[in-house]
Amino acid sequence: MYSEILTVDMEGKTWRTIPAPIKDGYGFIHQAQGHLSYICVLDDDSFKLSIWTRDDYATNEWILKHTVSTLLLFGGKRMRVVRDYQVIGIYPEGNMIFFVFGEKETLMAYIMDRREVRVICNLGDASDKCCLPYVPLFLESAVDRP
């Protein structure tokens, strides 16, 4: 779905695009452990999540960090992103993906290092609600400078 990602430096002066690691899928960008991360679902294998990271921002190289099947995430069920579950984000300081699943809008976490799924809570019938990650950034804004 998205073939490029727009990047801007901290001063807002240098803009460039970098290619997404996968061009034929549905993707989400996040920051985790100081690196840009890209979670994607391929068009030809919609039952698997792939997690890519960039270690070197000077190149266009992405590194495949992890893959997981929805069979593991959802107890043997083949689920599709957007239709059956929503990826919310990646925990910025660790190898954890958050997502919401099912009619009861169950907030869950997948711990990549352990290949383990944990239920955090049920959000209830939240068909009209949306979850967005929030991670405060404690840097001076380039926009606020004279």
pLDDT tens-digit series, residues 23-64 = 777 788 888 888 888 888 876 677 788 889 998 877 889 999
Domain residue limits, the chain: 4-122
pLDDT tens-digit series, residues 82-138 = 667 788 888 878 788 888 887 778 888 999 999 999 998 888 765 555 666 666 665
At 81, list the tokens: 């992103």
Contact call for residues 35 and 53 (beta carbons, < 8 A) = yes
How many whole angstroms from its chain centre is CA 103? 21
- Helices assigned H by DSSP within 42-122: 70-73
